[in-house]
């Protein structure tokens, strides 16, 4: 007979249990005993009125559990340090999360292991943070310096949340990896911070969807628009910054459908099929899209930079081919002439390399159904080590009053190539789409963009052979060209 211990604040909770003489006491306890031990400690912390006693510290070692660990409101669950992290696993049950968190909680220095190779099972999640409804959210949750790995569903699953922070002291110390569907996903998740996190090895070959990070909503086409906005509102407010988004051959790296007030900045994205997607909600039955994103800034991100392959020890391969760099799309039903625009969009100072698009609608930066967007200061395919196909910047359909200013584009390959191009119709200055005739709107602004730019070895721009881009290429038919209009300014 020996005693296992968990620290609650400055106190010890002792449970007398049978186990072997292993130096890690928790290793040999039964799943039920481990769950009882943690539940007892968490309830003691919950009932305490002393702040220091609301911290539960788990011992180093492997803890196999019989059920989900529920962290009650106001309590911190942690390992002693980064070098003494407990490893939590669930015993033979892939339909429940390992940890469920309430409001005002914190998880720190803990490893959660789903124990499976990649497959898709949406109920097999690492951490769940789920409110009752949009009016009863789980608030003020922190997940810090932890590892979440080997789950068939989602690493971290949020729904009806407000002010969740997922962060590492370094990117290596907060990692979500080997996940079947989404590394971090939020439905109706407000004011989310994802900072210095590595999300890697996402998706299952043969599946259609997988996300490193996604902020979206549960959309029900049977609900009226006003009811949908109340019951399942958009995700509103997020900062996704300084993170590593790696190895997703299936679908999208950083994604929002219908998100609002997002900043996506300073992220390193390598080996992801579609690196950044800021888009609307796609309806079933191929009838179009609804609910565009609003007020999204995408700045200072690095996509497939050669130095990042080296730094992160990643290899280029056909499996992990990127086909679109940054995609922004508003909404349009196929039966409607007019779009519902993505507004408040800024795509600034990103570096995008090695985008091997498979059609003329792919390339470095793709814009569709936007109004008043700014695309400025971006660098597309300046390195000699990769290749970008078809387009540096593509304006597909229904873009209004876009400012394309001060971008630097290198060599684009795969015919028909264009550095900046219209790849569709109705790109002009009018709020609604004109009929198929020449439009009068003042359209877009094209200014101070350069092609054939390269880099010096120190990373600075080499403008020796650069040429000013004086036109937006329009390889469409005459009737389509007549609905596109822009102004060139030196």
With respect to residue 10, please indicate whether it lies within any of the assigned structural domains: no
By C-alpha distance, which of 380, 282, 368, 270 is closest to 327?
368
Structure tokens at 284: 């079933």
Shared domain for 341 and 485, answered yes or no, is yes
Is residue 276 within 8 A of residue 270, CB to CB? The reply is: no
Please count the CA atoms within 13 angstroms of the CA of 71 that sit on its side-chain side. 31
Q: What CA–CA distance (Å, rounded) separates 172 from 249? A: 21
With respect to residue 198, please indicate whether it lies within any of the assigned structural domains: yes
Structure tokens at 418: 């264009």
Percent of the chain with pLDDT over 90: 84
Please count the CA atoms within 13 angstroms of the CA of 269 that sit on its side-chain side. 39
- Residues 125-149 pLDDT 10s: 999 999 999 999 999 999 999 999 9
With respect to residue 160, please indicate whether it lies within any of the assigned structural domains: yes
Tokens 């309430």 belong to 102
315-342 residues labelled b (16+ CB within 10 A) or e (exposed): ebeeebbbbbbbbbbbbbeeeeeebbbb
- Residues 255-299 pLDDT 10s: 999 999 999 999 999 999 999 999 999 998 889 999 999 999 999
Structure tokens at 125: 């999640």
Domain of residue 374, residue span: 278-490
Q: What CA–CA distance (Å, rounded) separates 250 from 120? A: 12
- Residues 325-338 pLDDT 10s: 999 999 999 888 89
Give one word for 92, left, alpha or beta, with left for phi > 0 and alpha for psi -120 to 50.
Answer: left
With respect to residue 214, please indicate whether it lies within any of the assigned structural domains: yes
Q: What is the pLDDT of residue 7?
A: 65
Shared domain for 247 and 315, answered yes or no, is no
Mean pLDDT across the chain = 92
Shared domain for 204 and 344, answered yes or no, is no
Q: What is the pLDDT of residue 439?
A: 86
Q: What is the pLDDT of residue 21?
A: 28
Mean pLDDT value of segment 12-32? 49
By C-alpha distance, which of 415, 418, 405, 425 is closest to 481?
425
Shared domain for 373 and 484, answered yes or no, is yes
Shared domain for 113 and 175, answered yes or no, is yes
Is residue 174 within 8 A of residue 197, CB to CB? The reply is: yes
Q: What is the pLDDT of residue 28?
A: 64
Q: How many CB atoms lie within 10 A of CB 485?
A: 22
With respect to residue 179, please indicate whether it lies within any of the assigned structural domains: yes
Q: What CA–CA distance (Å, rounded) separates 245 from 198? A: 6
- Residues 46-67 pLDDT 10s: 999 998 899 999 999 999 999 9
Three-state DSSP state, 41: helix
Cα distances (Å, whole numbers) of residue 251 to 218, 222, 373: 19, 27, 24
Mean pLDDT value of segment 249-257? 98
Q: For residue 340, what is the DSSP state?
A: B
Tokens 């900043």 belong to 263
Is the C-alpha dihedral spanning 46, 50, 54, 56 positive or negative?
negative
What distance, in Å, lies between the first and last C-alpha atoms of the chain?
83
Domain boundary among 266, 287, 316: 266
Structure tokens at 150: 């080997």
Is residue 486 within 8 A of residue 443, CB to CB? The reply is: yes
Is residue 197 within 8 A of residue 170, CB to CB? The reply is: no
Shared domain for 252 and 286, answered yes or no, is no
Shared domain for 413 and 454, answered yes or no, is yes
Shared domain for 254 and 304, answered yes or no, is no
Cα distances (Å, whole numbers) of residue 197 to 48, 176, 252, 269: 32, 8, 16, 12
Q: What CA–CA distance (Å, rounded) separates 102 from 128? A: 9
Please tell me the least confidently modeled range out of 24-28, 150-154, 360-364. 24-28
Q: How many CB atoms lie within 10 A of CB 312?
A: 16
With respect to residue 231, please indicate whether it lies within any of the assigned structural domains: yes
Domain boundary among 240, 266, 292: 266
Residue 162 is part of a domain; what is its CATH number? Answer: 2.160.20.10
Residue 321 pLDDT more than 60?
yes
Q: What CA–CA distance (Å, rounded) separates 28 from 337? A: 66
Q: What CA–CA distance (Å, rounded) separates 464 from 467? A: 9
Shared domain for 259 and 304, answered yes or no, is no
- Residues 75-131 pLDDT 10s: 999 999 999 999 999 999 999 999 999 999 999 999 999 998 778 999 999 999 999
- Residues 411-458 pLDDT 10s: 999 777 889 999 999 999 988 887 767 888 888 999 999 999 999 999
Q: What is the pLDDT of residue 131?
A: 98
Please return the burial class of 169, using the count of CB atoms within 10 Å of its CB with bins 0-12, 13-18 and 19+: exposed
With respect to residue 34, please indicate whether it lies within any of the assigned structural domains: no
Domains of the chain: total: 2
Shared domain for 257 and 283, answered yes or no, is no
By C-alpha distance, which of 26, 34, 18 is closest to 68?
34
Shared domain for 108 and 248, answered yes or no, is yes
Shared domain for 388 and 435, answered yes or no, is yes
Q: What is the pLDDT of residue 414?
A: 77
């Amino acid at each position: 007979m020996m005693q296992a211990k968990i620290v609650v604040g400055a106190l010890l909770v002792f449970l007398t249990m049978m186990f072997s003489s292993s130096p890690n006491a928790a290793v040999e306890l039964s799943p039920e005993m481990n769950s009882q031990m943690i539940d007892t400690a968490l309830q003691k912390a919950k009932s305490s009125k002393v702040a220091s006693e609301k911290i539960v510290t788990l011992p180093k070692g492997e803890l196999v559990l019989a059920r989900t660990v529920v962290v009650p409101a106001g309590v911190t669950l942690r390992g002693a340090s980064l070098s003494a992290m407990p490893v939590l696993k669930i015993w033979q049950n892939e339909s429940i999360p390992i940890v469920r968190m309430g409001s005002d909680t914190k998880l720190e220095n803990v490893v959660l292991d789903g124990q499976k190779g990649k497959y898709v099972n949406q109920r097999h999640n690492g951490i769940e943070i789920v409110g009752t409804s949009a009016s009863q959210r789980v608030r003020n949750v922190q997940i810090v310096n932890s590892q979440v790995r080997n789950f068939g569903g989602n690493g971290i699953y949020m729904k009806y949340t407000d002010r969740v922070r997922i962060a590492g002291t370094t990117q290596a110390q907060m990692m979500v990896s080997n996940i079947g569907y989404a590394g971090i996903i939020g439905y109706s998740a407000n004011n989310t911070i994802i900072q210095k996190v590595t999300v890697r090895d996402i998706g299952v070959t043969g599946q259609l969807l997988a996300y490193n990070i996604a902020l979206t909503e549960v959309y029900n086409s049977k609900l009226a628009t006003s009811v949908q906005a109340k019951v399942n509102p958009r995700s509103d407010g997020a900062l996704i910054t300084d993170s590593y988004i790696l190895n997703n051959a299936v679908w999208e790296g950083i994604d929002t459908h219908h998100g609002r007030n997002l900043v996506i900045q300073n992220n390193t994205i390598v080996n992801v099929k579609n690196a950044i997607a800021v888009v609307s909600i796609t309806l079933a039955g191929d009838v179009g899209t609804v609910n565009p994103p609003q007020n999204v800034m995408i700045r200072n991100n690095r996509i497939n930079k050669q130095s990042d392959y080296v730094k992160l020890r990643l290899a280029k391969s056909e499996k992990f081919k990127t086909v679109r760099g940054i995609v922004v799309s508003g909404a349009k039903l196929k039966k409607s002439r007019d779009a519902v625009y993505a507004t408040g969009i800024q795509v600034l100072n990103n570096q995008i390399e090695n985008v091997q698009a498979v059609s003329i609608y792919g390339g470095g930066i793709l814009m569709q159904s936007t109004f008043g967007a700014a695309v400025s200061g971006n660098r597309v395919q300046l390195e000699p080590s990769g290749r970008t196909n078809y387009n540096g910047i593509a304006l597909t359909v229904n873009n209004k009053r876009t400012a394309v200013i001060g971008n630097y584009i290198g060599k684009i390959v795969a015919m028909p190539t264009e550095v900046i191009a219209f790849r569709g119709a109705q790109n002009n200055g009018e709020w609604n789409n004109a009929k198929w005739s020449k439009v009068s709107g003042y359209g877009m602004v094209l200014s101070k963009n350069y092609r054939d730019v390269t880099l010096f070895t120190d990373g600075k721009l080499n403008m020796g052979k650069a040429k000013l881009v004086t036109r937006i290429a329009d390889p469409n038919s005459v009737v389509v060209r007549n609905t596109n209009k822009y102004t060139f300014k030196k």
